[in-house]
Amino acid sequence: MGKADGKGVYTWVNGEVYDGEWTMGLKSGYGIWRGLHNDSYIGEWHESKADGYGVHTWKNGDRYEGEWTQCVKHGTGTDLFINGDSYTGDYSHGKPEGKGQYSWSNGASYLGTFRAGMKHGKGKWRSAKGPPCNSYDGEYGGDKKNGFGNFIWASGNCYEGNYKEDDRHGYGEMRWTDGSWY
């Protein structure tokens, strides 16, 4: 019996199904894989691995649409989480890396750079979609405010200065809406 080559449907003993293109017995080209628990991948394949553009839906309802390399998120894409959070941006080796935006279901958002899945570099965070809200525009490291930044409270008060591990640290100026400052 030869290896699958061309288009076809294969059903595994455990119930998983692949409907798509095959090359030398491997998923290759465009295809649809359906798992046992409403999980699926629809998109491009290379040597039986998600590779290229595709959409993966996990059994819990989380969904990623974007670029893949060897079954790992790599390139540009969007994660939509069942809890209402989302991330759109660059990925490297399965984690946010480079420019992107993470939005929380409570209305908060972060737009900036990521490293190894964490906020890192220059970024802007807002506690809600519109005024009044707290906001921070500045430097991050290891998912925390680290370096120089400007924090503005919903009240209009603001702190501009240095941060370390999310805390004000070193030189900075605090300004209140009544005109006083420190």
Kindly tell me if the per-residue pLDDT of 1 is higher than 80.
Answer: no
Q: What is the pLDDT of residue 155?
A: 95
pLDDT digits (tens, 9 = 90+) for 126-172: 999 777 899 999 999 999 999 999 999 999 999 999 999 999 999 99
pLDDT digits (tens, 9 = 90+) for 39-55: 999 999 999 999 999 99
Across the range 99-125, mean pLDDT stands at 97
pLDDT digits (tens, 9 = 90+) for 29-43: 999 999 999 999 999
Delimit the domains of the chain by residue range: 1-70, 107-182
Q: What is the pLDDT of residue 112?
A: 98
Across the range 108-117, mean pLDDT stands at 98
For the record, the structure tokens of 79 come out as 């994660």
What is the 3-class SS of 27-78, one letter each residue? Answer: EEEEEEEECCCCCEEEEEEECCEEEEEEEEECCCCCEEEEEEECCEEEEEEE
pLDDT digits (tens, 9 = 90+) for 63-81: 999 999 999 999 999 999 9
> What average pLDDT does the structure give for the chain?
96
Kindly tell me if the per-residue pLDDT of 113 is higher than 70.
Answer: yes
Q: What is the pLDDT of residue 129?
A: 78
Q: What is the pLDDT of residue 130?
A: 72
Kindly tell me if the per-residue pLDDT of 175 is higher than 70.
Answer: yes
CA–CA distance, 6 with 79 (Å, rounded to integer): 31
In 3D space, the residue among 112, 150, 108 whose CA is nearest the CA of residue 130 turns out to be 108
